[in-house]
């Protein structure tokens, strides 16, 4: 994979913090755990050693994954844009014409998406449909439950 990964500034900072924690805290701790488990003798029947080695594999894999994502990261800066259309990183308030309710979503990268927090992926059906549209546009989106129709009532770059 060599394509860039769009992400918000917050997500980029969170990944950097996680990488630092993994390298500075988790890696040394698991190395210490392995050394302690080794001191208990026979490694073939040592569950603590096996668990520590498995944990080390997970940590090293996660470090590589984080380094790769950060190396390919494209941090989207919205500070110089006018909030006149929906772009990656925008927070959009929509009026759902069928339920007559307002919903609010932030358009984020796949890694950041969490519908419970109101963050939807730019590659999701709703995210893809909204990008490029302007205030007061009506957007029709085909979702698994059928066809949804939203009116864009607010766009913010937060």
Maximal CA-CA distance, the chain:
70
* Long-range contacts of the stretch 54-58 (C-beta < 8 A, 24+): 55/30, 56/27, 56/30, 56/31
Where does the pLDDT of residue 62 fall: very low under 50, low under 70, confident under 90, or very high at 90 and above? very high
Phi-psi region of 72 (alpha: psi -120 to 50; beta: other; left: phi over 0): alpha
Report d(CA 142, CA 78) in Å as an integer: 28
Q: What is the mean pLDDT of residues 57-62?
A: 95
Where does the pLDDT of residue 2 fall: very low under 50, low under 70, confident under 90, or very high at 90 and above? low
The percentage of the chain sitting over the pLDDT mark of 90, rounded to a whole number, equals 49
- Helix (H), strand (E) at residue 29: helix 27-38
Structural domains of the chain, ranges and CATH numbers in brackets:
5-75 (1.10.287.180), 90-157 (3.10.50.30)
Q: Within 13 Å of residue 84, how many CA atoms lie on the same side as its CB?
A: 3
Q: Could you tell me the pTM of the whole model? A: 0.72
Q: What is the mean pLDDT of residues 86-112?
A: 90
Report d(CA 45, CA 40) in Å as an integer: 10
From residue 56, alpha-carbon distances to 94, 96, 154 in Å are 45, 47, 46
Q: Is 112 exposed, middle or buried (0-12, 13-18, 19+ CB in 10 A)?
A: buried
Give residues with Cβ within 8 angstroms of 59, minimum separation 6: 22, 26, 27, 30
């Amino acid at each position: 994979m060599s394509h860039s990964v769009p992400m918000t500034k917050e997500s980029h900072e969170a990944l950097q913090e996680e990488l630092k924690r993994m390298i500075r805290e988790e890696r040394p701790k698991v190395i210490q755990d392995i050394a302690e488990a080794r001191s208990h003798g026979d490694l073939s029947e040592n569950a603590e050693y096996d668990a520590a080695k498995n944990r080390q594999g997970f940590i090293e894999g996660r470090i590589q994954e984080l380094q790769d994502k950060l190396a390919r990261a494209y941090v989207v800066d919205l500070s110089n844009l006018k909030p006149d259309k929906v772009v990656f990183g925008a927070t959009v308030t929509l009026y759902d014409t069928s339920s007559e309710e307002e919903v609010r979503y932030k358009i984020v990268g796949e890694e950041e998406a969490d519908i419970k927090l109101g963050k939807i992926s730019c590659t999701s059906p709703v995210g893809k449909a909204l990008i490029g549209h302007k205030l007061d546009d009506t957007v029709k989106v085909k979702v698994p439950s059928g066809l949804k129709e939203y009116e864009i009532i607010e766009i913010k770059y937060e």
